[in-house]
Structure 1
Amino acid sequence: MDDILRPLYQERTSQQNTMGVIVIEKKENEASFTESFDVILLIIVKEAESPVFIKQYIYGDKKAALYTVTEAQLEEWLLLGNNRKFIEWLYHGKVLFDRNEYVFHMKQEMREFPFFGRKIKMAIEFSKLIRRWTYGRDFFKNGHYLDAYNHVMHSLHHLARLAVIENGFYPEVTVWLQVKQMEPEIYKLYEELLTSDEELEKRLELLFIAIDFLIHSRTENGADHLLSILKEKEAWSFQELLNHPEINYYAVDLSVLLEYLVGKSFVEEQQVQTKGQGIYHRYYRVTNE
Structure 2
Amino acid sequence: MIVMENLLRPIYQERASQPNTLGVLLYEKINNQSPVTDNFDVILLIVVREAKEEWYVKHYEFEHKTAAMHIVDETLLNEWIDTSGYRKVIDWVINGKIIFDRNEYMYNLKETLRQFPENSRKLKKVVEFAKLIRAYRECKDLYASKHYLDANSLMVRSLHYLARVTVLEKGFHPEITVWHQVKKIDPEVYKLYEELLESEEPLEKKISLMILASDFAIHSRAAKGAEHLLDIMKEKDEPWSFGELKVHPETQHYTLDLSILLEYLVERNIIDIELVETKGKNIFHRQYVLR
Answer whether TM exceeds 0.5 for this pair.
yes
Q: Which of 224, 241, 245 pairs up with 1:241?
A: 245
Aligned residue for 1:270? 274
Corresponding residue number in structure 2 for 1:170: 173
Deviation for aligned residue 1:148:
1.2
* Whole-angstrom distance in 2 between the partners of 1:243 and 1:186: 34
Residue 81 (structure 1) aligns with: 84
- Aligned-pair identity in percent equals 51
Task: State which of 105, 125, 134 in structure 1 corresponds to 2:128.
Answer: 125
- 1:243 corresponds to which letter in structure 2? V
Alpha-carbon distance between aligned partners in 2 of 1:167 and 1:122, rounded to the nearest angstrom: 11
Residue number among 204, 224, 236 corresponding to 2:227 in the alignment: 224
Q: What is the one-letter code of the residue matched to 2:144?
A: K
Supply the distance in 1 between the matched residues of 2:33 and 2:108 (Cα, whole angstroms). 28
CA contact (8 A) 2:127 2:254 kept: yes
**Counterpart residue number, 2:264:** 260
Answer with 14-23 or 130-139: which moved more.
Answer: 14-23
CA distance in 1 between partners of 2:233 and 2:170 (Å): 25
TM-superposed CA distance for 1:12, in Å, is 2.5
- CA distance in 1 between partners of 2:185 and 2:229 (Å): 26
Which digits, 9 at most, give the CA deviation of each residue in 1:127-185, with x for residues without a partner? Answer: 11111111111221222211211111111111100011110011111111111111111
Equivalent residue number for residue 190 of structure 2: 187
Cα distance in 1 between the residues matched to 2:234 and 2:55 = 38
Match for residue 145 of structure 1? 148
Give the match for residue 135 of structure 1.
138
73, 97, 101: which one pairs with 2:100? 97
Equivalent residue for 1:15?
A: 18
Alignment partner, residue 216 of structure 2: 213
How many residues are matched?
A: 287
Shift of 1:104: 1.4
**Which residue identity lines up with residue 120 of structure 2 in the other structure?**
G
TM-score scaled by structure 1?
Answer: 0.95
Q: TM-score, normalised by structure 2?
A: 0.94
Cα offsets for 1:232-264 (capped at 9, x unmatched): 231111111111111111111111111111111
Q: Give the secondary-structure state (helix, strand or coil) at the position aligned to 1:50.
A: coil
Query: Secondary structure, in 3 states, of the residue corresponding to 1:100?
Result: coil
Cα distance in 1, alignment partners of residues 205 and 225 from structure 2: 28
Which one of 112, 116, 119 corresponds to residue 109 of structure 1?
A: 112
Root-mean-square deviation (Å): 1.4
Amino acid in the other structure paired with 1:232? E
Provide closer, same or farther for how the CA distance between residues 134 and 104 of structure 1 changes in structure 2, counting only shifts above 3 A: same
SS at match of 2:269: coil
1:161 paired residue among 145, 160, 164: 164
SS in 2 for 1:24: strand
Matched, 1:62 2:42: no
CA positional deviation for 1:55: 1.6
Partner-residue secondary structure (3-state), 1:21: strand
Whether the 8 Å CA contact 1:19–1:103 is kept in 2: the answer is: yes
- 38-47 or 210-219: bigger deviation: 38-47
Distance 1:95 1:106 in 2: 11
| Matches of 1:180 and 1:31, distance apart in 2 | 21
User: Secondary structure of 1:10's partner?
Assistant: helix
Q: 5+ unaligned residues in a row in structure 2: which ranges?
A: none
Structure 1: stretches of 5+ with no match in the other structure: none
Q: Residues of 1 paired with 2:228 and 2:62: CA distance?
A: 49
Query: Which segment drifts farther, 163-172 or 31-40?
Result: 31-40
1:105 CA displacement? 1.4
Instruction: Output the amino acid matched with 2:247.
Output: N
The residue number in structure 1 matching 2:283 is: 279
Partner secondary structure for residue 29 of structure 1: coil
Q: Distance in 1 between matches of 2:64 and 2:234?
A: 60
> Residue 208 of structure 1 aligns to which amino acid in structure 2?
I
